[in-house]
Amino acid sequence: MPGRLDIDVKGFHLLLSDRTYIMGILNVTPDSFSDGGKFFDKATAIEQGLRMARDGADIIDVGGESTRPGAKETSAHEELGRIIPVIEGLREKVSIPISVDTRKARVAEESIKAGASIVNDVSALRHDPDMADIVSKHDAAVILMHMRGRPQDMQLNPIYGNLILDITNYLRESIDLALKHGIPRERIVIDPGIGFGKTVEHNLEILKRLDAFGVLGCPICIGTSRKSFISKVLNLPQTDTRLFGTLATLVIGILKGANILRVHDVKEAVQAARMTDSVLKQT
């Protein structure tokens, strides 16, 4: 893991070199794979965000478009209608960074104006040609995630020549794109995209070799929470039975160099992360 990986972004200093950070997932959607429709109402979504903050979340990631396998694209207008009231409501009540999970520059810009500090782009700046400029213009941080194809087709026979090398090269190209548009490396996080255009075996290999992405010199975020590969390994079909498997992947991720864990179950993830961090600090 190269040097210190702290991030300064819009008034927040994230000490990523000191401990693992927990990003709580807040899907304001009717069709997300795990909690679709559960927090679709503004008041319910805000209360869930406040609950995650009380449970120890370091970042709240608000999304208004499902990117589950097979999901159809949501219009910017609809996406904004879902998330802006929630971001505004949370910004008034929490003192932690808010991230917006979007591929669209317009959505990112309006979300930043409403109080978001981080853009979590599953397309790594490739879906919308204006995204990099918007992130740079507003001094936001960005999470660049690897995805093979699009949500509509990403799980159709994903094949790689060399999984880790292919992902590394893809992320390096997106980092270079971010730098070219004026986003400093100190505000860039990478995500290998577990579950996005990967088989079960691919996901397991990414976790096993996560430390290989340290060569890119950016903090690493992983999102394994409740994903289907856990069910396939453990033969547990329901998303609400995947907690223990998820926690195992989080601990492995930390041991392999993950800095940010994107999760649904914040309280449990905080405990797992704090325990793992405590062990790693022993000399």
* DSSP conformation letters of 119-160: EEETTTT-S-TTHHHHHHHTT-EEEEE--SS-TTTTTSS---
Catalytic option among 103, 198, 226, 227:
227
Angle at 272 between CA 267 and CA 275, to 5 degrees: 125
Verify whether residue 227 is a known catalytic residue.
yes
List of E strands, 48-146 = 59-63, 98-101, 118-121, 141-145
Phi then psi dihedrals of residue 11, to 5 deg = 90, -5
Catalytic option among 262, 267, 274, 281:
262
Q: What is the gyration radius of the CA atoms in the chain, in angstroms?
A: 17
User: Can you tell me the distance from the alpha carbon of 202 to that of 204, in angstroms, rounded to the nearest whole number?
Assistant: 5
Return the exposure string of 167-182: e unless at least 16 CB atoms fall within 10 Å of the residue's CB, then b. bbebbbebbebbeebe
Verify whether residue 137 is a known catalytic residue.
no
Q: Which residues are catalytic?
A: 227, 262
